[in-house]
Amino acid sequence: MRIGIVCPYSFDVPGGVQWHVRDLAEFLIALGHDISVIAPADDDTPVPDYVVSSGRAVPVRYNGSVARLTFGPRSAALMSKWLQHGNFDIIHIHEPIAPSLALLALWAATGPVVATFHTATLKSRAMQAARPLVGPSLEKIGGRIAVSEDARDTVRRHIGGDAVVIPNAVFVDRLRSMAGGRRWAGTATAPTIAFLGRYDEPRKGLSVLLSAMPEILQRYPQANLVIAGLGDEDTARGAMDETTSRAATFLGRVSDADKAELLASADLYVAPHTGGESFGIVLVEAMSMGTPLLASDITPFDDVLAGGRFGTMFSNGDSHDLAVKALAMLGRPHVGRHLAERAIVRARDFDWSVVGRRIIDAYELTAQSFDAATLAPPPEPEGWRRVLRSGRGVAR
């Protein structure tokens, strides 16, 4: 099949959706499919050969985070050209009502459309505001995918209708093969605690972990806290007490190989996210590496860890409970190892060899049920036509 994939978020600052799109494209290419991905990216941002850049994006607050989006007449013209020249058998739009390329693709599409919904929030002003702009265009979506039950509930609440749950995925064996060493390995008296995520984004929960660290360091004064991700280190250190700051190492943005090595090195991986997550891909990555896991009990994490069968969970936002659970795991490492061994097997459920096949099934069913004669593109809302004529937009 010739498949066009639309990513609304910029490849300049990769996140969960961008990684998902990248890995999906590579999985499909390996099977012999013809893939083209369109996504925002600055001119100097390296992108794979299969990615068509829609140009510079700008940061916009969207659904509790800051996303880099592009939107406007220039982007609309590029989208129309990409769709026309692509002659795709399937158009796969991620976050189809995000005010970026995804929405432009939905408006312009005339072929079979599969949409993946990643957002999981029951109260979304952004989605409520976007719905009038989408209108009848939602009827173009022949196959709806949600990455979790929470994302599915969001579709039901804000979009209407239903979606099949197909989770995010990782290349389990590839990730495991990347860990060439144990650079950050700890010891029984100086364990390594790892955190991955944008540490300047409150919902990632680093502040909860930092509040727990003094209690952990009382028992393990030589413990190391290794933090990987984007954010302002000075600001983060300003929120720490002196003891925690001495224990903390900031790696900044890391490669996939460094991420794998950090997970392989850690005695404990902590996911203290407080909400706004649609899935738990970072948990699956840690599970793939056999890393003992401690995660907040938000619903998406609970689903991945099956209520604690494959990792330990603490009360969301409760730094004392985090510290108590962390100390119990560090003090009984054989328990963490037992959970981690089971988690490696569980991670296979989220391997691309399983998840990717389900997405292909969705493509084939959507293509089979598509009837071009019944799909006339509805007109864009009058307000949007005025935006295009006036040349206003988020990015040009």
pLDDT tens, residue by residue, 290-315 = 999 999 999 999 999 999 999 999 99
Instruction: Provide the pLDDT for residue 133.
Output: 64
> In whole angstroms, what is the distance from residue 343 CA to residue 22 CA?
25
Output the six-digit token pair for 350.
């989220």
> In whole angstroms, what is the distance from residue 233 CA to residue 271 CA?
19
Instruction: Provide the pLDDT for residue 282.
Output: 92
More confident residue, 3 or 386: 3
Q: Is the pLDDT of residue 109 over 60?
A: yes
Q: Is the pLDDT of residue 58 over 50?
A: yes
Q: Is the pLDDT of residue 127 over 90?
A: no
DSSP-based three-state secondary structure for 105: helix
Q: Is the pLDDT of residue 132 over 70?
A: no
* Residue 129 · residue 60 · CB < 8 Å: no
pLDDT tens profile 64-92 = 555 556 766 788 888 999 999 999 999 99
Instruction: Provide the pLDDT for residue 393.
Output: 38
Output the six-digit token pair for 341.
């061994």
pLDDT tens profile 352-390 = 999 999 999 999 999 998 865 455 555 554 433 443 444
Instruction: Provide the pLDDT for residue 201.
Output: 87
Q: Is the pLDDT of residue 111 over 60?
A: yes
DSSP-based three-state secondary structure for 144: strand
Exposure string (b/e) for 305-318, b if CB count within 10 Å is 16 or more? beeeebbbbbebbb
pLDDT tens profile 260-294 = 999 999 999 999 999 888 888 999 999 999 999 99
Q: What is the mean pLDDT of residues 246-258?
A: 94
pLDDT band at 53 (very low <50, low <70, confident <90, very high): confident
Q: Is the pLDDT of residue 200 over 70?
A: yes
Mean of pLDDT over the chain: 87
- Residue 52 CB coordination number (10 Å): 18
- Residue 337 CB coordination number (10 Å): 14
Instruction: Provide the pLDDT for residue 278.
Output: 84
Q: Is the pLDDT of residue 155 over 50?
A: yes
> What residue ranges define each of the domains in the chain, with the CATH number in brackets?
2-169+351-390 (3.40.50.2000), 172-349 (3.40.50.2000)
> In whole angstroms, what is the distance from residue 392 CA to residue 395 CA?
8
Tracing tokens 């005010």 back to the chain, one arrives at 99
Q: Is the pLDDT of residue 174 over 80?
A: yes
Comparing CA positions, the residue from 94, 100, 160 lying closest to residue 131 is 160
Residues above pLDDT 70, as percent of the chain: 86
Q: Is the pLDDT of residue 396 over 90?
A: no
